[in-house]
Amino acid sequence: MVSTAACGAYHFPGEPPGGTGILSGQVTTVPCAVIQPAPLPASKPGIQPPCGARTLPGIEIDFSANGSTVTTRTDSRGFYSVELASGTWKVSFKGYLRILSGPATVTVRAGTRVVANYVVDSGIRYAVGEPQPVNPGPPVGVPPPG
């Protein structure tokens, strides 16, 4: 007689272990560079250092792994929290050019909390001396959302 027993902790090779963990953090955005109207020294032609970061409310964050995607959004102060299955997840921000600071992938282990803060490039560029938009409206000719 042959007998087998199941082991709840077993997982197939290449498959993430079971369980979930919590990933949370804050997302801010900066214009990546500021365009100068006057020439600068040759070491920094036309570019100033990035401006101060601003919180990013309502941005969609996508976490992808093993053919599935989990989506969350930041709250009104730019914070997010999401429960993810154990494993390594690729991080992307809908509508933003690139991650300037923060991990491009995060590893979540069952029963743990991981903090990942991000600074993303807004793609906005403006000339020095112009006021920075606090809450820019829609482009000319486009009605505000509604």
Q: What distances in angstroms separate CA 54 from CA 28, 51, 74, 75, 132, one per listed residue?
A: 5, 9, 13, 13, 11
What is the reported pTM?
0.63
pLDDT one-digit tens code per residue, 82-139: 999 999 999 999 887 688 899 999 999 999 999 999 999 877 665 555 555 555 555 5
Q: Which domains are present in the chain?
A: 20-121 (2.60.40.1120)
For every residue of 49-90, DSSP letters joined together read PPPPPEE-TT-EEEEEETTEEEEEE--TTSEEEEEEESEEEE
